[in-house]
Structure 1
């Protein structure tokens, strides 16, 4: 099978794999040659694969989409990916950073929404003071 892991900026992995493991919201799953066509959304997780020489490689992904086509092409499109040979390091360090980044982005979105709602309230308040209250 051909495995490709791609971010918006570069191709992180483009190599042959005997087997691939990934994780979506329903749990971990494996992919072997001849797998049915498939599309799923990945969780923040580690994608692992076995190379033709028997060695294993890993790539931490910050969510993404995984697709299988023709039973031989596995593609992962993700926002951010970091390749490594040590699963423990990827799991403890990189995934924690990805999760912290997601939490930070969520907090920033919430704060932005609060600011927007506050601005809308002020505009509506000013319109109510200066007009008769009828918008039609």
Structure 2
């Protein structure tokens, strides 16, 4: 493998690409603790936990992302991250507020969807039960 001064990082959500560009450093958190990746880091795969992800671009600018659980794959000079939810913030203070607002809204929507699904399942079970009753 050749040595490189940067790597290509892609941070994807189920519905969009949150970040795709060159980076000189990436730091995040996995289930077994924090980690850092430089362009010539050994290839690996890890499960991500809800945390803060920092991406340092070649010009020195740091991009800060609040992420939910996901997966990171590092191969060669490419790092692919797939997460359930994620938001970008200007700093850690504003990121905390943004994550709280965004993720709480999504959790409410998920709860509503799960409740609707439960009602549909219960209705289906009742209908099947009524089919088994003998009609006299």
Calculate the TM-score normalised by the size of structure 2: 0.72
Q: Which segment is superposed worse, 97-106 or 37-46?
A: 97-106
Answer yes or no: is 1:88 the counterpart of 2:98. Answer: no
Answer yes or no: is 1:61 the counterpart of 2:64. Answer: no
The gaps in structure 2 that reach 5 residues or longer are 1-6
In the alignment, the residues of structure 2 paired with residue 10 and residue 119 of structure 1 have an alpha-carbon distance, to the nearest angstrom, of 35
Task: Supply the RMSD in Å over aligned alpha carbons.
Answer: 2.8
Contact 1:44 1:98 (C-alpha < 8 Å) held by counterparts: no
Residue from 103, 127, 133 that aligns with 1:99: 103
Calculate the TM-score normalised by the size of structure 1: 0.72
Residue from 75, 78, 91 that aligns with 1:73: 78
Q: Across the two proteins, how many residue pairs are aligned to each other?
A: 130
CA displacement at 1:34 relative to structure 2: 2.2
Contact 1:65 1:77 (C-alpha < 8 Å) held by counterparts: yes
Superposition pairs for residues 1-136 of structure 1, below 5 Å? 1-70=7-76, 72-90=77-95, 92-130=96-134
Partner of 2:3: none
Three-state SS of the structure 2 residue aligned to 1:15 is strand
